[in-house]
Structure 1
Amino acid sequence: MRIGFAVPQYGAFADPEFIGSASARLENMGYDSLWAADRLLAPLTPSDPYPGGDGTMPPAFATFFDPLAALTLAALNTRDVRLGTSTLNALWQPPVVLARSLASLDLLCGGRLDVGIGLGWLRDEYTAAGVDWKGRGARLEETLDVMETLWAEDVVEHKGPLWTVPPSHVHLKPAQRPRPPILLAGFTPAALERVGRRADGWLGAALPVPALRTVWGMALQAADRAGRDPSALRMVMRVNPTIVDKPAPPDQVPYAGTVDQVVEYLHAAAEAGADEVFVDVQATTRSRGELLDVAESFITALRAS
């Protein structure tokens, strides 16, 4: 099981200097990967409840550093650790622009990028970005089509319902060929079918282990139906725990618990199919020192268990 940590980028941690220095520190601790998330705004009256806890969006989300800029800082301050988005809301910008940004980042980091893409959950952000909430699945399919064409072909051309790219030279290509790994998020049958049919893996979130097995099984079955090798798919799972000093009730783990309790859950998730897990405590830690101390505690416990 590979072990990752969230790049500091929101709330009190949305500081360029700290993002760079913390990324170097996390790599030196022994983390395998660093992951950046994506939020545009924190509405005063959200259109949709936050998909966690009591449905209230963490106040820290009101200050959110751009994910690709955060990973650029991480790339410039690390050597070997992989860098990923979990998740990038890819529909807020045209795919030709996003493809250029991601190719540039993959070149800058020397081919260490994992492109994790999701559709988001907050309609307010789509309204603010000027993108229709309806038809997100079809928009994502065409976005992937355009980006894969731009990354792989010598002469690119695309004609689709949403975008037209005239025959063109686009010689800027990612370092990883034919493209960086693409991981897709989502829990609906349609999202999991898309993972199995065309992605390199699934971006999951902490669930009770039986539910995690069920959801992952849906993606693997979809790969098999599409004539792909299910064993080639990766599961990368995020956990956002509140770390407490005394053991939490079992039904609260991994959403709250001691480091050891969360680590025990992560090992169970690995047995359920997770190839990689990563921890994000930006919403539940109060200082830079505390965040790095928690990171040290996790990597030590995980490596020792």
Structure 2
Amino acid sequence: MRVGFGLPVSGSWATPDLLAEVAVEAERLDYDSLWTFQRLLVGEDQAVDPVYRSVLDPLVALTFAAARTSRIRLGVAVVNLPFVSPAVLAKQVSTLDVLSGGRVDLGLGVGWSPVEYAATGAVAERRVARTREYVAVLRALWADGVSAFDGEFYTVPPSRMEPRPVQRPGVPILLGGAVPAAIRRAGEIGDGWVSRSATNLSDISSDVALVQEGAASSGRASPRVVCRGVLKLTDLELDADGRPPLSGTFEQIREGTAWLATQGVTEIFYDLNWDPLITLEPAAARDRALEILHNLAPVGLG
């Protein structure tokens, strides 16, 4: 089980100093990866959870972290593909991979906010077909030699995009998704699946089976299953009966992480951006975040 950590990108703890401190400390403590997520904007009257109201750009935040680290991997879970051209994203991600020395993981989703769809001029229809082409375009642009793509939605004239990613044949692509068909597709056309904040982790083995089924259908081996770990930390130990895997004391959360590994999860990242005591309480954010970072360091879980 690889263990990562969510960078401070949402709410009051998303400051330059704390982002840098968390990145450096996570690397020192041998966490495997750092993660961000995307939220472009929120409508004036749109009802959303507090975590989505103020969010740093995910790729810029990762670039900031990359400049202060040297080994830890850098992932985004996820960039919503309808909002940006695949050629533009291919260039951005390739550049980050070069500047970081080959440490990037790219998560892709289709988005859910009608406000963001309207603001970006994105098209909601036929998202599955568009996703398949989008992934194919990224891989074509990252391939060696001259790239070209002529699809229904995207066209790339014969061309070269340099520099190419350090990672060959390209940056790993993880797909998000919540419905069975989307989870299966993550294994079929991607390098794996990344779960969302609302995923029922107690039943994640069924999602893992779908990812593996999709990978097998296209001859892919060992798909990655990356879990966004939203914690429910308590001072007192919770009863085992009905307790979600990442709830309770630090010890119980570590036990839950080990249990998720037995269910087929290959990687987890603890994401404190969903913790209101951190994102909404600036005075306590740093101390609480660093306490969690230290107490859940991946000793014995690697």
Asked whether the two chains share a fold, i.e. TM above 0.5, the reply is yes
CA displacement 1:262-291 (0-9 Å, x = unmatched): 222211110001111110112312312211
Of the three residues 206, 212, 236, the one matched with 1:214 is 206
Q: Distance in 1 between matches of 2:49 and 2:293?
A: 20
> Counterparts of 1:48-59 in structure 2 under 5 Å?
57-59=48-50
Structure-1 residue corresponding to 2:223: 233
Q: Distance in 2 between matches of 1:89 and 1:247?
A: 38
Structure-2 residue corresponding to 1:125: 116
Give 3-state SS (helix, strand or coil) of 1:116's partner. Answer: strand
- Following TM superposition, by how much is the alpha carbon of 1:62 offset from its aligned partner in structure 2, in angstroms? 1.3
Of the three residues 249, 254, 259, the one matched with 1:263 is 254
CA displacement 1:34-75 (0-9 Å, x = unmatched): 1111111233544xxxxxxxxx74314211110001100111
> Counterparts of 1:1-305 in structure 2 under 5 Å?
1-46=1-46, 57-205=48-196, 206-209=199-202, 211-229=203-221, 232-248=222-238, 250-254=241-245, 256-284=247-275, 285=278, 286=281, 287-299=285-297, 302-303=298-299
Whether the 8 Å contact between 1:3 and 1:277 is mirrored in structure 2 is yes
- Following TM superposition, by how much is the alpha carbon of 1:252 offset from its aligned partner in structure 2, in angstroms? 4.9
Structure-2 residue corresponding to 1:51: none
Q: How many residues align?
A: 291
The residue type equivalent to 2:209 in the other structure is: G
- Following TM superposition, by how much is the alpha carbon of 1:256 offset from its aligned partner in structure 2, in angstroms? 4.1
Q: Distance in 1 between matches of 2:259 and 2:166?
A: 34
Q: Where has structure 1 moved over 6 Å in runs of 4 or more?
A: none
Whether the 8 Å contact between 1:246 and 1:258 is mirrored in structure 2 is yes
Q: Do the aligned partners of residues 61 and 169 (structure 1) sit closer, same or farther apart at CA in structure 2, a change above 3 Å counting?
A: same
Give 3-state SS (helix, strand or coil) of 2:147's partner. Answer: strand
Give 3-state SS (helix, strand or coil) of 2:135's partner. Answer: helix
The residue type equivalent to 1:303 in the other structure is: V
Deviates more, 1:126-135 or 1:251-260: 251-260
Whether the 8 Å contact between 1:106 and 1:175 is mirrored in structure 2 is yes
Q: Distance in 2 between matches of 1:272 and 1:123?
A: 34
- Following TM superposition, by how much is the alpha carbon of 1:88 offset from its aligned partner in structure 2, in angstroms? 1.8
The residue type equivalent to 1:207 in the other structure is: N
- Following TM superposition, by how much is the alpha carbon of 1:293 offset from its aligned partner in structure 2, in angstroms? 1.2
- Following TM superposition, by how much is the alpha carbon of 1:111 offset from its aligned partner in structure 2, in angstroms? 0.3
Indicate the RMSD between aligned Cα atoms, in angstroms.
1.9
Structure-2 residue corresponding to 1:52: none
Give 3-state SS (helix, strand or coil) of 2:273's partner. Answer: coil
Higher RCO structure, 1 or 2 (CA under 8 Å, sep 6+) = 2
Q: Distance in 1 between matches of 2:201 and 2:29?
A: 28
Give 3-state SS (helix, strand or coil) of 1:39's partner. Answer: coil
Whether the 8 Å contact between 2:130 and 2:153 is mirrored in structure 1 is yes
Whether the 8 Å contact between 2:35 and 2:74 is mirrored in structure 1 is yes
Deviates more, 1:242-251 or 1:288-297: 242-251
Whether the 8 Å contact between 1:95 and 1:146 is mirrored in structure 2 is yes
CA displacement 1:5-50 (0-9 Å, x = unmatched): 001111012222321222111111221111111111233544xxxx
Tell me, which stretches of 5 or more residues in structure 1 are unaligned? Answer: 47-55
Tell me, which stretches of 5 or more residues in structure 2 are unaligned? Answer: none
- Following TM superposition, by how much is the alpha carbon of 1:148 offset from its aligned partner in structure 2, in angstroms? 0.8
Give 3-state SS (helix, strand or coil) of 1:282's partner. Answer: helix
